Structure 1
Amino acid sequence: MHDHSDMWMPTDPPTWARLFTPHLDGWSWVAYLTVAALVAYLVGLARLRRAGVRWPWWRTLSFVTGAVSLFAVTGTELHGYSMVLFSVHMAQHMVLSMVSPLLLLLGSPVTMALRTLPRGRGTAGVPRALLLEALHSRFARFVSHPGFTIPLFIVSLYGVYFTPVFDDLMADPLGHQFMLAHFLVTGLLFFGPILGADPWPRTVGHAGRMLELLLPMPFHAFFGVAIMMAGSLVVETFANPPASWGVDPLADQNTAGAIAWSFGELPTVLVLAVVFFQWAGSEQRRNCTRERTIDRVGDAELDAYNARLRAMAAGRGA
C-alpha cells in the first residue's frame, strides 16, 4: 500500500456508520470546492428570490443533492477508506463521474450564475463577462465536443486502471487529488452537452444527445466485467489492506468491478428519461406555437392550397 503520510488514513475496518462520518482531516480539495459551490448557489438563489424571479424547486433540490453526494465521497471517512480498499475507491469514482455531475448539472448552475452575477462594463460585471467569454471560447467548444468527451470518458476507465497511471497517481497525494478532480470534470464535460440544462458551448439535437450517451456505455459495462474477471490484481495500490480487517484483495477487486458494472445502468436511464421528456416538451411547445399562429393569422398553407384548387377549378370552367 502506498504511503499517504500527509493524509488521514483509517485504522478500523469500514462500517456504514464510519464510512459517512465527516472527517475534517480527511477532506479532499474537491470537498472544499463543493462547500464553496453550494454556498455560491444558495447565495444566488437568495438574490433571485429578492428580485422576485422564480426558480424551480427541483433545480435547487438537484444541485443540493449533488453537492451532498460529492461531499459524501470526498469529505467523510469514506475518502480515507477509498485509499485502502478498491471497492470503496470504485464507489467513490462512480459517484464522482456519474452521479454527482448529473445532479449538479440538473441544478442549472451556469444559468443561475448568468442570472445573478452583475451586468455592466465596470469591475462588477467582469465575472459575468468572463463566464460568457469562456462559454463561447474555442477551447470550450473543443472540450465539449463528443470527439473529445467520449474518448476522455473511456480513457478515464481503461487508461487509468489498466496502465501504471493509477498506482503512480495514488503514490502521490497531489496526483490523487488530481485524479479525483479529473473524474468529476470528465463527468461534467460528458453529461453537460447531453443534458442541455444550461447554456453550453455546443448544441446538438435530442437524437444526437441520446446517441452520445449510449455510445460509451458498452465500454463502461465491459470495464466492470473485465475487473470482475481478472484473475490477478489489476492495481497494486490495494494489494495489502490491514490484515486485521480480514479483506481478500482479489475478492474486494471483484466487488469493485461489480460496482463499476452496475453503476452504468441507473444514470443512463435517468439521462435518457430527461432527454426524452425534453424532446417531447419541445415538440409540444412547437405544436402549441404553430396552433397559436394558425389561430392568429390562419393556416397559410391550407389557405394557399385552397386558393390553388379554386384557381384550377376556375381554369377548367373557362
Structure 2
Amino acid sequence: MDHSGHGMTTDLPPFTLGRGLEFSADPFFLVGCLVALALYGWGVARLRSRGDGWPVSRTVFFVTGVLSVALVMCTKLNDYGMVMFSVHMVQHMVVSMLSPILLLLGAPVTLALRALPVAARGTKGPREWLLMLLHSRYMRVVTHPAFTIPLFIASLYGFYFTPVFDTLMGSKIGHIAMMVHFLAVGLVFFWPIMGVDPGPHRPGYVMRMLELFAGMPFHAFFGIALMMATQPMVKAYENPPASLGIDALADQNAAGGIAWAFSEIPSVLVLIALVYQWYHSEQRQAVRKDRAADRDGDKELAAYNAYLASLRTRGQ
C-alpha cells in the first residue's frame, strides 16, 4: 500500500523514538548534507593551510545545523512524517527554526568569502559572483522585514490551511520542495536578525528583536488553532494507517502543541545570540573609542610639550 504517490509502504509499526531515529536516508538531503559538510570543511582547511584562523565554535554550530537537518530527513522520522502530522511538525520546526539558526551561527558566507580565491583582474569567479549576489537588489528585498515576516507567516497558514500542502505531499518531489522551502524561509528570516554573515539589511539590535517577536505570535496562534480544532484540518493526515494505532485528531492536536511549544525555543536561542553579539559589539566600540582617546591624548601631550619648549626658547 502506497501513500501520497511516494511508493512508500504505510504499514509502519507504532511510532517510538528508537524506530524514528533509525537510518532511512532521503537521497536528496543525504547528498545535500554531505556536500555542505565537505564544502565547509574545505573552506576551513584552506584558511588553516595559509595560516589563518577560524573559530572552532562556528564550525561546531554549522556541523550541528547540518546534522539537525540529517536527523529529521535522513532517518525514519521522515517516513513517519509522511503519515503522522505530529512527526511531520517536528521535521518542519527543526528544519525551519532550529537548523537555520545553527547554520547561520556557523557564518558560511563569511567563510566562503575568505576561502575562495580572488579572480584575475577583468574576470569573475565564485567569490565575485557571491559578492554581487550579496549586494544585489534581489538580496535587499528578500532580507527586508517587509518581505521576511509575511513570508514566514504565509509558510504556515498558506501551506497548511489551503490545498497547497496536500498537493505537495502527493509526490516525492513536492515533499522535498516543501522541506527545502521551509529551510530557505528560516534562513532568510533569521539571517538579518542574528546572522553573523554580512548582509544588505542589518538593522540595530533593538529592531532585530522587534523583527523576531513580530513573527512569533503568529506561530503560536497557528499551533493553538491546530490544538483547538475539532476535526482534521489537513487531508493528507486525516486517515492514518491502522498499523500506527493513532487517532487523526489527537495526532493533529499533538502537532499543534509541538508548533506552539517550538516557537519559544528559537526565540530564546536568538535572544541569547543577539545579547551576546550586542555585548561584544559594545566592547569593540569601547576599545575603538579608547584607542582614539589615547591617540588624541598623545597629540594633546605632544602639543603641550611643544608649547612648553617654545616658552623655554622665548625665555632664553
Preserved CA contact (<8 Å) 2:107 2:195: no
Q: Which runs of 5+ in 1 are unaligned?
A: 302-318
Asked if the contact 1:167/1:237 (under 8 Å) is kept, the reply is: yes
Contact 2:226 2:253 in 1 (8 A): yes
Question: Residue 235 of structure 2 aligns to a residue in which SS?
Answer: coil
Q: Deviations over 1:100-124 (max 9, x none)?
A: 0000000000011111111123799
Q: What does 1:198-277 align with in structure 2 at a 5 Å threshold?
A: 198-277=197-276
Q: How big is the shift at 1:13?
A: 2.3
**TM-score, normalised on structure 1?**
0.89
Aligned-partner Cα distance in 2 for 1:300–1:58: 40
Give the match for residue 82 of structure 2.
83
Aligned residue number for residue 18 of structure 2:
17
Q: Distance in 2 between matches of 1:123 and 1:95?
A: 43
Q: State the alpha-carbon separation in 1 of the partners of residues 202 and 63 from structure 2.
A: 26
Distance 1:91 1:300 in 2: 61
Count of matched residue positions in the alignment of Structure 1 and Structure 2: 299
Residue 155 of structure 1 aligns with which residue? 154
- Counterparts of 1:1-318 in structure 2 under 5 Å? 2-7=3-8, 11-24=12-25, 27=26, 29-121=28-120, 126-298=125-297
CA contact 2:23–2:76 (8 Å) conserved in 1 = yes
Whether the 8 Å CA contact 1:30–1:181 is kept in 2: the answer is no
Q: Rate the CA distance shift 1:58–1:9 in 2: closer, same or farther, 3 A.
A: farther
> In structure 1, how many angstroms separate the alpha carbons of the residues matched to 2:37 and 2:123?
21
Aligned CA distance change for structure 1 residues 221 and 300 (closer, same or farther; 3 Å) = farther
Structure 1: 4+ residue segments shifted above 6 A: none
| SS across alignment from 2:236 | coil
How far 1:10 moved relative to its partner?
6.0
CA offset digits 1:11-48 (Å, max 9, x no partner): 22222122111224xx0523321221111101111111
From the superposition, tell whether residues 292 and 140 of structure 1 become closer, same or farther in structure 2 (CA, over 3 Å): same
User: What residue identity is the alignment partner of 2:134?
Assistant: L
**Cα distance change on mapping 1:28 and 1:267 into 2, 3 Å:** farther
> Structure 1: how far apart are the matches of 2:99 and 2:123?
31
With normalisation by structure 2, the TM-score equals 0.90
Cα distance, 1:246 vs. partner?
1.1
Distance 2:294 2:122 in 1: 48
